[in-house]
Amino acid sequence: MRPRPLGPGSIAKVTRSKGQVCWRLDYRGVDGERIRLLAMGADGRPVHRKTEAQAMLNALVFERNKLRDATSRGNPSMPWPDALIAYAADREGHVSETYLTNAKRTIETICRAIGVRQVGEITMPKVLAWRSQRLRDRAAATANKDVAHVRALCAWLVRRGVLQSNPLTGIGTVRETKKNPRRGLSEAETVKLLAACAEIDSLRNLRIMDGSERMPITWTIFGLLSIGCRYGAMRQLTWADLDKADRVITIRSATTKTKTGRTIPVSDEFMAEGETAAALLARVLGRIPTGQDPLFPSPKGLPWGRTPSNIRRFLDSALEEAGIPFIDAEGAKVTIHSMRNTFVQRLLRQGVPPAIVGKLSGHKSMRMIMEVYGQMQLEDTRGAIARLPGLLIEPKVGTMWAPKPKPTLGTGAINP
């Protein structure tokens, strides 16, 4: 059973017969029994100041909590994998399968990251340190959800008597700052961006003094625009994932955010650029690339890191070179993820049904596709209006609403 909360206690003013003001302490002991006593000083006389009485209450509650923790009847030595199995079995049927899967994966990740073996070793400082690290490459909403999963596990353990109290109760949520929305690129901006990327790659290769070659980052940007996957999935693609016979790329489920794989057909243009990239990678590595080598490698032919900081700096330089504003008039910005936005928008511009777009991009929500990724620009809306058929049988500009000549009086016309 869940132990009864003891609470912080309270103080109350007491006026004695001679008008003296005293203070009565009211709190619960370790066994939960209510205790009431008069605040007395070291000289054995009642305390008259409220601050002194509050300090005495705080000291008593602190010692009580220490004694309660020392005499805990729980089982804090329970291994966290056993606790997680029992927690998942108890919650099954009460929550959705997707929620439970995410919860188990998140709790396992956090417990391994903070280095605990038993549930009693889960402490607030450890989880806070992990959250600070998590916020470096994840949004505040994601970090808050992750901590909430571990907090829910600890609360369940308290209800089952395994823990005396929840060590994560005092962890608040990180404030979610409003971010500028991302935007996709127009067709003209896409062409200008790739041209600027190629120009920067050429200049960087000219600066290499030892004569060695480097993989162009343009190939990576081109790949993001061509297959529309996230950066995390792109960095884990290998040459074995490219089927040259069927001209498709298989994005493995283990590398995706939603843990669902998909197969994306690629164009003849992509296959031609891929042959060039493979030949260049062979010169960079000094050997023939194998199926385990990255499909979109870094300049040194190695897999990209977890954070896209290097590509982000390259993209910022390319945007400046191409004259594309990083943030437009509406506050929308261009980031690495904008390549994915551009991929979806290019499909929508060609009239591809949203269901097919979702299958290619890995989205299950049509609302997400249309509201977030389907934001079209002025040239798209202008083109849509231009494709509408005319409304007039004889489309002569101004003839429908041109003023008609008034009839002349005295010629049999009706006088208005």
Give exposure, 242-266, as e/b (b: 16+ Cβ within 10 Å): beeeeeebebeeebbeeeeebebeb
Sign of CA dihedral 222, 310, 256, 357: negative
Query: Where are the strands (E) in 65-133, listed by range?
Result: none
Q: Which H/E stretch holds residue 14?
A: strand 10-15
Q: Which two three-digit tokens encode residue 383?
A: 């083109």
Q: Which H/E stretch holds residue 28?
A: strand 21-28
Question: What does the pLDDT look like over 167-192, one tens digit per residue?
Answer: 998 888 887 666 668 888 989 999 99
Candidate from 35-39, 86-90, 117-121, 223-227 with smallest mean pLDDT: 35-39
Share of the chain above pLDDT 70, in %: 82
* Spatial distance between the Cα atoms of 318 and 196, rounded to a whole number of angstroms: 5
Tokens 């600070």 label which residue? 132
With 50 as the cut, is the pLDDT of residue 375 above it?
yes
Q: What is residue 364's predicted lDDT score, i.e. its pLDDT?
A: 75
* Spatial distance between the Cα atoms of 267 and 225, rounded to a whole number of angstroms: 12
With 50 as the cut, is the pLDDT of residue 398 above it?
no
Question: What does the pLDDT look like over 317-334, one tens digit per residue?
Answer: 999 999 999 888 878 889
One of 3.30.930.10, 1.10.3720.10, 1.10.443.10, 1.10.357.10 is the CATH number of 187-373, namely: 1.10.443.10
Nearest CA-CA partner of 142 in 173, 96, 172: 173
With 60 as the cut, is the pLDDT of residue 371 above it?
yes
Residue bearing the bigger pLDDT, 182 or 105: 105
CB neighbours of 122 closer than 8 A, spacing ≥ 6?
A: 80, 111, 114, 116, 150, 154, 167, 168
Taking 3-state DSSP, the helix, strand and coil percentages for the chain, each rounded to the nearest 5, stand at 45, 10, 45
Question: What does the pLDDT look like over 258-313, one tens digit per residue?
Answer: 888 899 999 999 999 999 999 999 999 999 999 999 999 999 999 999 888 899 99
User: Any idea where the domains of the chain sit in the sequence?
Assistant: 10-70, 80-159, 187-373
Which residue blocks in 172-308 are alpha helix, DSSP H? 187-207, 217-227, 231-234, 268-285
Tokens 């038993």 label which residue? 118
Q: What is residue 177's predicted lDDT score, i.e. its pLDDT?
A: 65
Question: What does the pLDDT look like over 22-72, one tens digit per residue?
Answer: 888 888 876 677 888 888 877 667 888 888 889 888 888 887 777 666 555
Q: Phi first, then psi: what are they for 264, rounded to 5°?
A: -120, 120
pTM attached to this predicted model:
0.56
Do residues 233 and 259 make contact, with C-beta atoms less than 8 angstroms apart? no
Q: Which two three-digit tokens encode residue 45?
A: 């006389």
Nearest CA-CA partner of 165 in 124, 107, 104: 124
Q: Which two three-digit tokens encode residue 356?
A: 């097919």
Q: Which two three-digit tokens encode residue 247?
A: 């001209």
With 80 as the cut, is the pLDDT of residue 415 above it?
no
Helices (H) and strands (E) in the chain, counts: 14, 6
Side chain identity at 92, as an amino acid letter?
Answer: E
Mean pLDDT, the chain, whole residue set: 83
Q: What is residue 269's predicted lDDT score, i.e. its pLDDT?
A: 92
Listing DSSP states for 210-235 in one string gives S------HHHHHHHHHHH---HHHHT
